[in-house]
Amino acid sequence: MESYLKENFEVEPKNPTEEALKKWRSAVWLVKNPRRRFRMVADLAKRAAAEKKRRKIQEKIRIALYVQKAALQFIDAANRTERKLSEEVVQAGYDIEPEDLAYIVRSHNTKTYDFHGGLQGLARKIKVSLRDGVLSSDISKRQQIFGYNQFVEKPQRPLWMFIWDALQDMTLIILMVCAVISVGVGIATEGWPKGMYDGLGIILCILLVVVVTAVSDYKQSLQFKDLDKEKKNIIIQVTRDGTRKKVSIYDLVVGDIVHLSIGDQVPADGIFIDGYSLTIDESSLSGESEPVNIDKKKPFLLSGTKVQDGSGKMLVTSVGMKTEWGRLMVTLSEGGDDETPLQVKLNGVATIIGKIGLAFAVLTFLVLTARLILTKYISNELLKWSMNDGLALLNYFAIAVTILVVAVPEGLPLAVTLSLAFAMKKLMNDRALVRHLSACETMGSATCICTDKTGTLTTNHMVVTRLWVAGDTKEIKSKEKLKSSISEKVLTVLLQSVFLNTNSEIVKDDTGKTNIIGSPTETALLEFGLLFQNNYNQETKNMKIVKVEPFNSVKKKMSVLVALSNGKLRAFCKGASEIILNMCDKIINEDGEIVQMSDKQRKAITDVINGFACEALRTICLAFKDLETGSTSDNTNNSSDIPESNYTVIAVVGIKDPVRPGVKEAVKTCLDAGIMVRMVTGDNINTAKAIAKECGILTADGLAIDGPEFREKSDEQLKDIVPRIQVMARSLPLDKHKLVTFLRNELKEVVAVTGDGTNDAPALHEADIGLAMGIAGTEVAKENADVVIIDDNFKTIVVVARWGRSVYINIQKFVQFQLTVNVVALMTNFVSACTSGSAPLTAVQLLWVNMIMDTLGALALATEPPHDGLMKRPPIGRDVNFITKVMWRNIIGQSIYQLIVLGILQFNGKRLLNLNGPDSTAVLNTMIFNTFVFCQVFNEINSRDMEKINVAKGMFDSWVFMIVMVCTVTFQIIIVELLGTFASTVPLSGSLWLASILMGAVSLPVGAILKHIPVESSAHHGHDGYEPLPRGPDLA
């Protein structure tokens, strides 16, 4: 079975090939209900058509942007007359039609832009202040006139459509036809109303199955809809009511002033207001990979594009479906998401079992028919056929079809969807947003987590605690004492560096309280600056920022060029201490004078940096350089480059970023679970080592390495050192990518990697599971990730790993349970048909059993929450057999027990139970049905743990499981005691009920005995997910 599955039903968790997707689709056979089975499977034909449509739209956009644009420049603006304003727009108080406004940016038409008065003219026409932004009171009015920033999405399918889908099951349709014929023939032979009961019972049971199935599917679809909306929600920084705020992308309106920085997605079409070195990647929209520089001469920004470099502000001019991105987004959702490896594998299992079930169904029908013909032949009635004989044949056919209903486990692939939907919803509550379904599964196999330090292992609440300035190290405790110990000249340059060389902004909220909006490092520096200078504008009012080079993870520095009040230029630089120190050859002394830096002073500063780092402080070096010549004219922005050398050191600051509470325990949990944790950070190696030791990541035999050193190693050297690497410091995004690739390809590890920056995108994409940070992460990083860690916390990553394992184990539990029911139901009816000429389980009873094992069984077992024991096992191997030897042991053992019990009841039940009288056969058949159902109820409890004897542990905490159990037992009582007319049952006495329950309950001790039978564990290529890990000192 496993070799067949691996050959035909194997797909990669990430980016599976088109060939693999087509291969398993062609291998699937005997699908009862394609509409339901493949509801959560990508439609390749639709996807190809959508891709074609998307490329067509991209080509149109590209032509509009790069070809028509040139032609449009020749159109005389005077010839373009303004469209007459509609009554609605006039009443709202605006001076431009929404379509005209959208056209300007969409067509990049500078002539029309100038015709409307440029940026200032458009701002006047849409009634917005470029300084204070829109008023909150105007939001609803703007949304009515200019539209909402939402794209047209497929409406949620109503419940009746899911009922219709569930009714498309071919076997159920055949059964309904049989039931209708049965009603007709029954009334003709047995009269009204007795003749209709059998057929009506089947119809009612089918309707119950359909409704329960449809409601389950409908609830799942609602969960996915909510998660899908959450995935597309982006938090945007805007200026409204004169203050800077964070709003959802869905709440953005025309007139909003949006702040953009590296890695952001442009949330709507708009006009550039101001900014520095703003470079946009338009490839997602136009297909052109060449980045576009945005400035006041080329001010048009398109929704859906990405900020590649720089920062800036834009005025929103059109939103939602009035943008090209809105039209493109409609095509992106066509075709659906890729199916997960487990979904594909279980489609394979369903195909194999379906073939076996079909053979048994045909055999059962042939045996029953043959027995009927033989009986008629013996009694010389072969040519005499009555309506009753026709009804008997119809009944045999219905039983054969019902065996097929039970035998084809349509619910197996859908149980994966159910389990994943449940896990995704719970993970959302636990602060993790799953973007790709397969990540939930793959996380259960993770053997290694490469994690960032800042914000993930640490709190990201940074405070400057140490300062080295002018040759002296100071503790940041008393503001007055600190201020008096630094000369006025040095303090002036230090504060200029802090307030001018920053990407953050100091704003006042509605209550007048000062807030800082920006990265935690920048916030810590600005808070430090505000200790000395509350009126920060004083430092910057006479200076003009000429050029900015924003911080990025490759250069590890940020620089700014400033025009001073005397007309000269001054460059400020800050960043990774060693890098900035290497750019400096001078130092500012305690009197504020610039002097050449001696080797001794350089060594002293290096010792300070290392000293701070060993105390687990993040070190930032601040430097400046006065340029000999300079100009404040407008062309400075283009002509003046920020220097890269000969700077003067101002200060080194030590920033404390404490380790998050609970991280050490989370790391220990990972180690217990066989998951290696590696820290990959851009920080100083001493800082990294100190934090790694505090978290329990760096052990005595572990290796800490610098990024530059790692880069120089050959592949042979890497094979030796990579397994021991626990910390990589001063790493570039490319180092992270190289490490992930090596771990996956050479060491065959299943790698989860965290990332927040734009440059982390390749590593996130390459890893088996890419984990983007929700707070610190850029939109580019989130887009390339499989899971977004909303709270940036390492503990949340461990929660994702637990749920990943839980999903896999839960599906295994369900498969074990369902296969046991399949084997017993098939064998019972087949053997009985061969020996006695009748099936003890009727069509209605088999349909009820099918619902217990399919929809209700999936609900009970596939939604079990994870328990702590999951993280005391090794990871689930990459290539292990899905149906393990442990599962086969349990399936075969339970099946043998149930078949023996049902066989004894079938052939010797009347004598054993002392059944006499005319209704003894009906009582015996009801008893067999009842015992069979209770065997499944107790086996469902047994399946909660495939290895442990105590299967009741945590059972009462799983409310879904308990509700399913109560509903199953309650409805079984109703069927037996009250619905006998339809279900072919008769009421049972108290002693027979007790006997049924006890025979079912014996499954529990049988399960306990089976678990004592040793099973040979899997081969070296992976774990079967059940052996406990070694504990104690030998673990390390």
Catalytic residue among 198, 264, 269, 452: 452
Give 480: exposed, middle or buried? Use CB within 10 Å, 0-12, 13-18, 19+: exposed
CB of 436 within 8 A of CB of 764? Answer: no
CB of 115 within 8 A of CB of 80? Answer: yes
Nearest to 280 by CA among 254, 261, 258, 297: 261
Per-residue burial over 367-402, b if 16 or more Cβ lie within 10 Å, else e, is bbbebeeeeeeeeeeeeeeeeeeebbbbbbbbbbbb
Residue 551 neighbours by CB distance under 10 Å: 22
| Residue 499 backbone dihedrals phi, psi, to 5 degrees | -85, -25
Cα angle: 527, vertex 529, 532; to 5 degrees: 115
| CA within 13 Å, CB half, 907 | 12
Nearest to 450 by CA among 226, 662, 727, 714: 727
| Residue 990 backbone dihedrals phi, psi, to 5 degrees | -60, -40
28: CB partners within 8 A, 6+ apart? 347, 348, 350, 351
582: CB partners within 8 A, 6+ apart? none
Residue 79 neighbours by CB distance under 10 Å: 8
Instruction: Quote helix, strand, coil % in the chain, to nearest 5.
Output: 55, 15, 30
| Residue 755 backbone dihedrals phi, psi, to 5 degrees | -165, 150
CB of 333 within 8 A of CB of 354? Answer: no
CB of 44 within 8 A of CB of 50? Answer: no
295 has catalytic annotation: no
CB of 837 within 8 A of CB of 368? Answer: yes
CB of 989 within 8 A of CB of 917? Answer: no
- The helix (run of H) or strand (run of E) holding residue 617 is strand 617-626
CA distance 539 to 1027: 65
Nearest to 138 by CA among 251, 249, 301: 251
Supply the DSSP symbol for 856. Answer: I
Give 125: exposed, middle or buried? Use CB within 10 Å, 0-12, 13-18, 19+: middle
CA distance 887 to 894: 11
| Residue 985 backbone dihedrals phi, psi, to 5 degrees | -120, 165
- The helix (run of H) or strand (run of E) holding residue 752 is strand 751-755
3-class DSSP state for residue 456? coil
Tokens of 120: 């200032």
The count of residues in the chain is 1036
Q: Using only the alpha carbons of the chain, give its radius of gyration.
A: 36
CA distance 321 to 343: 35
Q: Tell me the C-alpha to C-alpha distance, in Å, between residue 671 and each of 447, 692, 1006.
A: 10, 14, 35
CA distance 101 to 68: 18
Tokens of 834: 């061969």
Give 355: exposed, middle or buried? Use CB within 10 Å, 0-12, 13-18, 19+: middle
Q: Tell me the C-alpha to C-alpha distance, in Å, between residue 16 and each of 344, 420, 765, 881.
A: 12, 19, 13, 20
3-class DSSP state for residue 513? coil
**Residues labelled as active-site residues:** 452
